[in-house]
Amino acid sequence: MSMHPVVPKPGRDAPQPTPGKPAPGAGRDIRTLLILALAVLLVIVGTLTLAVVRSGPPLGAGVPAQPAVPAAPVAAAPASLRDNVDKILQEADEYRIGLALADVSGGAELTFGDESTFTAASTAKILTAAAYYHMVELGQASLDDPMGDYDAAFQLKAMINDSNNDSWLLLMDAVGYPQLTAYAASLGVTYDPEQNLLTAADMALILKKLYAGELLDKDHTDQLLGYMQDTNNEELIPAGSRSGVDVHHKYGEISGELHDAALLSYRGSTFALVIYTENPAGVPDDGQADVIRDLTKAVEDALFPVGLTGK
């Protein structure tokens, strides 16, 4: 460390003048030493001031802002989600249940329970609708095309919003079974319309691609999603969802199968949630609806923690 020289005080080490006789030039020497001491002091103060200035931010520079807290939950769900879902599945072990969860923005995907195929029932109507809209965009069909007693646009809404099976048959005939199978394959899904089998993960993938705009143009995407709200059955995932979460969904029911496939949106974050259930007794019962609602709540508690939705 550099040391500044110690400036002797006036007269400290200098020869003492003869008593009674001032040393020649003594006044001048004292003034000179005082000036030198003051100059050294100014140099020291200036050096310290410059060091402080250089160590701080440039003039006019703002203090770096702290990263903003994300306004929406992230794709990585807490470990407690699997524990809570597994507990619900164990308590409902009289049913065969498959659950798939996919983040439309981040690609994260989780599956629970049975990962094999179920009879998809009316949830597969989403795939049929997407296939017909795709034909419209290719110029191979029109929403104004006559179809039954109405036009294709009417039948699409009736199929999705009211789950009308006659509309479904008309639209599948318009698309064609081979073309519907080929369209599903282009999405990465194996599907035979005659068997109507899908896994929960298959349907989650379809929903994810739909919402992300990977299937249809914006107008057709918005129209199809609009049909998936305020449907003829709001007693499954929508009933298990808390206030503040936007739900687009399509339920399905046949024999002992009871399903719901939904998109859950909150503050810019959207997840596909698909819950397929089967009662070996061959008829749906109230327990299946209860477990769908319980699983929905468990998923939302993990992805949208209590307090974020204003409840």
CB neighbour list of residue 98: distance below 8 Å, 6 or more residues apart? 111, 112, 113, 114, 115, 116, 118, 199, 200, 201, 274, 275, 276
Q: How far apart are CA 170 and CA 181, in angstroms?
A: 16
pLDDT at site 3: 39
Confidence of residue 67 (pLDDT cuts 50, 70, 90): very low
pLDDT at site 284: 85
Helix (H) or strand (E) holding 262: strand 257-266
Note whether 81 and 296 are within 8 A (CB): no
Note whether 176 and 133 are within 8 A (CB): no
Note whether 168 and 120 are within 8 A (CB): no
Q: Can you tell me the mean pLDDT for 134-138?
A: 98
Angle, alpha carbons 38-42-48 (nearest 5°): 145
In the predicted structure, residue 18 carries a pLDDT above the cut 80: no
Q: Which range has the worst mean pLDDT, 33-47, 54-68, 155-169, 201-215?
A: 54-68
CA 157, 158, 163, 166 torsion: positive or negative? Answer: negative
| Burial (Cβ within 10 Å: 0-12, 13-18, ≥19) of residue 169 | middle
Torsions phi, psi of 24, nearest 5? -60, 130
Confidence of residue 16 (pLDDT cuts 50, 70, 90): very low
In the predicted structure, residue 116 carries a pLDDT above the cut 90: yes
Paired tokens of 41: 């002091």
- Nearest Cα to Cα of residue 260 among 232, 226, 301: 232
pLDDT at site 37: 56
Q: Can you tell me the mean pLDDT for 249-255?
A: 97
Q: Can you tell me the mean pLDDT for 38-52?
A: 49
Q: How far apart are CA 32 and CA 46, in angstroms?
A: 21
pTM of the model: 0.75
- Nearest Cα to Cα of residue 125 among 271, 252, 273, 270: 252
Cα 103 to chain centroid, rounded: 6
Q: Can you tell me the mean pLDDT for 91-111?
A: 91
Radius of gyration of the chain from its Cα atoms, rounded to whole angstroms: 38
Query: Which residue did the predictor score with more confidence, 223 or 46?
Result: 223
Paired tokens of 88: 């619900």
Q: Which of 27-31, 32-36, 109-113 has the highest mean pLDDT?
A: 109-113
Q: Can you tell me the mean pLDDT for 153-159?
A: 98
Q: Can you tell me the mean pLDDT for 255-262?
A: 97
